[in-house]
Structure 1
Amino acid sequence: MEQYLTVNVVTPNGLVYDHHAVIVVAKTNNGELGILANHAPIIAPLDIDEIRIKRTDSDEHVDWVAINGGVIEVRDNIVTIIADSAERARDIDITRAQRAKQRAEETIEKAKEKSDVDELRRAEVALHRALNRINVSKHR
């Protein structure tokens, strides 16, 4: 009998995802991490990236979640992702994400003109978040 993981994605606004899975793939600060049932306990910081959650052995049952940084904890076949913010692919408003991308690109140009390093860094993070949401939305 196949063992499953329980996967929870939580943000300050509440629970975004709660399901069973056979594998979870997330990008940590040190690279990609694949988690199967009976994985050793681990806590790791997460990058702004997508989380891939495969619910069955079939490729038809894959859920995608865009996260904007956070932490992943694995213990006793429970995967808990505490994210700054997160959206399932099906919930992403692509028009809003594209507007955020455009605003970030404009802010980057202005920050470069003013040589404002702090504003440039914030705009680059905003751009990365918008691009992540756009990319994850393509997995609907």
Structure 2
Amino acid sequence: MTEHMVVQIVTPDGIRYDHHATFISVTTPDGEMGILANHINTITPLTVHEMKIRRVDDEHHVDWVAVNGGILEIKDNIVTIVADSAERDRDIDISRAERAKQRAERDLKSAEQAHQSDDVRRAQVALRRALNRISVGNK
């Protein structure tokens, strides 16, 4: 049996991640999901979350990726995530993420005061994404 799987994260900008892993952790609308090699073939939606990837080269080597929703497919030890955006911890500009957080907080407050439910939802999503990027960037 294979002891590892290939993990690929694809965005409209191309492949953002492509490595072998022994374990990954993702978050779906139903909760957290841990995936090991030889996992049953699956397709599931993902939420905005911090993806943990334990690489095969060293049991202590963990990559963190800020994933902004998307779809996960597991098929024959190939895990593919298709997302609007995804950033590895080393690629995140914390100051830019902090500015996005502040913008989202202002937009949320303004939309709530104006009782604009669509704008409230958009600002909430932007805030979740910014907070996710900050959290992963600080790993």
- Scaled to the shorter chain, the TM-score interval is over 0.9
Q: What CA RMSD, in Å, does the superposition of the two structures yield over aligned residues?
A: 1.2
Q: Which residue of 2 aligns with 1:58?
A: 59
Output one character per residue of 1:108-140: Cα deviation in whole Å (capped at 9) or x when no partner. 11111111111111001000000000000111x
- 1:88-127 to 2 correspondences below 5 Å: 88-127=88-127
1 CA distance for matches of 2:96 and 2:47? 22
Output one character per residue of 1:16-67: Cα deviation in whole Å (capped at 9) or x when no partner. 00000000110011111111111000000000001100013622x0000001
1 CA distance for matches of 2:24 and 2:138? 19
Q: Verify: 1:41 aligned to 2:36, yes or no.
A: no
Deviation at 1:2, TM superposition (A): 6.4
Identity percentage of aligned residues: 57
Deviation at 1:85, TM superposition (A): 0.5
2 CA distance for matches of 1:121 and 1:75? 33
Amino acid in the other structure paired with 1:82:
V
SS in 1 for 2:26: strand
SS in 2 for 1:22: strand
Output one character per residue of 1:48-93: Cα deviation in whole Å (capped at 9) or x when no partner. 001100013622x000000110000001100001111000000001
SS in 1 for 2:87: strand
2 CA distance for matches of 1:112 and 1:35? 39
Q: Which residue of 1 aligns with 2:9?
A: 9
1 CA distance for matches of 2:59 and 2:6? 18
Give aligned pairs, total.
138
SS in 2 for 1:115: coil
TM-score, normalising length: structure 1: 0.95
The answer to whether the Cα contact below 8 Å between 2:100 and 2:127 also exists between their aligned partners in 1 is yes
Gaps of 5+ in 1: none
1 CA distance for matches of 2:71 and 2:2? 27
2 CA distance for matches of 1:94 and 1:58? 27
State the 4+ residue runs in structure 1 displaced beyond 4 angstroms. none
Gaps of 5+ in 2: none
TM-score, normalising length: structure 2: 0.96
Amino acid in the other structure paired with 1:40:
I
Q: Which residue of 2 aligns with 1:85?
A: 85
2 CA distance for matches of 1:132 and 1:53? 16
